[in-house]
Chains A and B, each alone.
Chain A
Amino acid sequence: MSKFNFPFIKETNELSNLRKEVREFITTCINNNEITQSPDAWVFSADPSFSKKLGSKGWLGMSFPKEYGGHQRTALERYVVTEELLSSGAPVAAHWIADRQSGSQILRYGNEKQKSSIIPRITAGECFFAIGMSEPDSGSDLASVKTKATKTKNGWKLEGRKIWSTGAHLAHYMIVLARTSPASEKNRHEGLSQFLVDLSLPNVKITGIPDMTGQRHFNETLFDNVELSDDSLLGEEGKGWKQVVGELALERSGPERFLSHFTLLDSFINEFRNSLIHSGTKIVGKLISEIQTLRRMSFSVASMLQNGESPETQAAFVKELGNKFEKMMIETLREFSNIVPLHEWPNQLQNLFEDATLRIPSNSLRGGTTEIMKGIIARQLGLR
């Protein structure tokens, strides 16, 4: 069992300098009250004006080619920027999906028109995306999607329903996985295709679904015979499964899988440093060891992406470990209330803690459940 390696990648001085630059920028924004910090910010805390600022700083679409307005920087540089944004709880939800996966997906599979019309806008922080994978009857079993695209004289007709489409109400586009021909008996993964769908088109209806905390980020997106132009097809007809699997590797391995609630941990330690010195060194040490290992692994996956590898399995490892860490972290803080009772925590910290406690069940659902991650790993181990 030594085939899943995570080579060690050193953070160079250039990367550390970039880190510093991003951190100073965020600190200034916070000090000037330009942004608010929140946990799980990449999911629901959208601030288009902040996204635009990041775009003008050159911190979106960082690894995209220059001809499409990108900056041709490395995946490692992008990694450093995302870590800084996540650890500070900055409002990044508006552009997150576009920058993380949709842009790369278009660059990899898109035609010239798709690339030149959309990528520069993503890079500028002006064009946002939602994910079009899950459906009311297709959650973990993604290959069972029923949304259907039928060939017409001028293009395609899209019919179906996508759900849990986080941020669709703010997004300009959605990459939709749809059936373009029936699944073959042998292989259900055949006959799927990806479409680049403009959400402002007629007959697209987006309805919000409040999550259990009351926040709005979830949506149901209805495509009621939406007319799509011929060049809405993203990539190759019938190759949607292979494409979507690659997209998921981008989605799963990033630092948002273990830094979603870092602001809580940071405030917790700043508040209770003195009590922790007496009765919490062990828990702090445990948390540090987990975060550092995860950062180390996630950084390694970024370098695999940089080298053009397809680290789908390694991404599943990172996601699985990251999800476990976040749950463990919240449980650890809860147990600390034995030392300082919860009702004596400062209000803001109590709120952060309660919010995180409510949100944490979603971390091992979004981007693929624990069960799916373990299934992917088991397949690679030769068990399925």
Chain B
Amino acid sequence: MIEELEIILETTSKILQKHVNHSLRQNIVSENTDILNLWNEIEKNGLPKISVKEKFGGYEIPFFSILPLIKIVNNHGTPLPLSETILSNYILSESDINAPNGIVTFATNTKNLQIKNNMISGEILSVPYLNLTKNLLIVHEFNNVKKAILIDEINGEIIHKKNFLAEPRYDIKVENLNIAEMKPIKNNIDFNFLGAILRSAQMIGAMEKVVDLSINYCSERKQFGRTLSKFQAIQHQISEMAVELSASSAALLTITELGLGEKNSNDTAILKIRAGFAAGKIIAISHQVHGAIGFTKEYELSYFTRNLNSWRNDFGNESFWEEFLGKRFLEKNNKNLWEYLT
């Protein structure tokens, strides 16, 4: 399986290298044939269903093992919701629902959801890339049962959010919308945890790119007669980025290796805190060392930093997970801290 994954990672890198460029990122609409071509290429290689069970036509590689793929996809700044689709399809498959072909996006939040006669009403919030698909996964708890709900045709009031951040996001208000499939979710699938892990892996992929962009830019740009990289003040700032990134990557590797058991959910919290904090530092420093060019739309840094800003707020920000972690230790435990940590 490891060999299989290696091949997939290599193939994916090649596809993305060929298709993704910065102008593609500025025209994320379903009419853009380049966007469609890229998606077709991705689908042809089975990436959207990489963690889907074989009986549903997937590769059945565990979700935690494919986090390196999520990193690569976002390191290339791929302007398609492949990461969202992979997670949605994994949750559908684990809930015994046959995932549809094409892009599947998810709702990060909901409000006043109600279900009657296999129809859903309420507000579905902050859905990424809804302009590219009709397939939507909603995870919601009704009467103490968590359910995976698949919608494959959306009508209702769709509001394109202004969204200062990168990818398109939408809020939808629906009334008696048909549900394509709805099944209870397994206990071990927690959407908020998986979402936090997904966003962290995406952030780390993007942060690696941002650090590389900063190193390259500072090695070429000259001021006061020498390249910026020769200034100690610049060197130290970039080192700080690298340090923060390495800590986040270490936290991600823990999840890749251990997965998400009840015991390891602390690791999810640690990952999202670490990645979110690092993103804050890295956004600020990368823009600082780039100067004005980094603040333009045509230079690619902003695509990555905008996404970082968006993802660090999804599925709980640092404070949310810090409280989770602190509460868990203080309330449910009489052990002293060291015993708890070890």
Which of A6, A88, A281, A289 sits near B327, CB closer than 8 Å? A281
Q: Do residues B331 and A285 form an inter-chain contact, with CB atoms below 8 A?
A: no
Closest to B75 in A: A2
Q: Do residues B326 and A292 form an inter-chain contact, with CB atoms below 8 A?
A: no
For the complex, give the distance between the alpha carbons of A6 and B274 in Å: 15
Q: Do residues A8 and B323 form an inter-chain contact, with CB atoms below 8 A?
A: no
Partner-contacting stretch, out of B123-131, B144-152, B167-175, B234-242: B234-242
Interface of chain A residues 245 through 267 with chain B (CB within 8 A): 262, 265-266
Given contacts A289-B274, A295-B341, A382-B219, are A300 and B319 in contact (CB under 8 A)?
no
Q: Does A282 contact B (CB under 8 A)?
A: yes
Q: Do residues A281 and B242 form an inter-chain contact, with CB atoms below 8 A?
A: no
Tell me the smallest distance from the CB of A268 to a CB of chain B, in Å.
9
Most buried by A among B241, B250, B256, B336: B250
Chain A, 365-377, contact with B by CB distance < 8 Å: what is the 0/1 string? Answer: 0000001011101
User: What A residues does B326 contact at CB under 8 A?
Assistant: 276, 280-286, 288
Q: Do residues A281 and B322 form an inter-chain contact, with CB atoms below 8 A?
A: yes
**What count of chain B residues pass the 8 Å CB interface test?**
53
Interface of chain B residues 8 through 33 with chain A (CB within 8 A): none
Given contacts A284-B330, A293-B251, are A377 and B338 in contact (CB under 8 A)?
no
Which of B235, B236, B273 sits near A289, CB closer than 8 Å? B273
Q: Do residues B341 and A288 form an inter-chain contact, with CB atoms below 8 A?
A: yes
Q: Does B104 contact A (CB under 8 A)?
A: no
Q: Does B324 contact A (CB under 8 A)?
A: yes
**What count of chain A residues pass the 8 Å CB interface test?**
51
For the complex, give the distance between the alpha carbons of A16 and B60 in Å: 33
Most buried by B among A88, A273, A281, A296: A281
Given contacts A282-B326, A285-B323, are A269 and B336 in contact (CB under 8 A)?
yes
Partner-contacting stretch, out of B38-46, B89-97, B184-192, B208-216: B208-216
Q: Does A82 contact B (CB under 8 A)?
A: no
Which of B207, B229, B250, B337 sits near A6, CB closer than 8 Å? B250
- A288-B270, A382-B229, A383-B234 known, 9 other contacts, Cβ within 8 Å: A8-B258, A269-B336, A269-B337, A285-B325, A288-B337, A289-B269, A296-B250, A297-B250, A375-B236
- 21 inter-chain pairs at a CB distance below 8 angstroms, sorted by A residue, are A1-B207, A1-B208, A2-B208, A8-B257, A276-B330, A277-B330, A281-B330, A283-B322, A284-B330, A285-B327, A286-B318, A288-B326, A288-B329, A293-B247, A293-B250, A293-B274, A296-B250, A317-B247, A375-B239, A383-B238, A384-B229
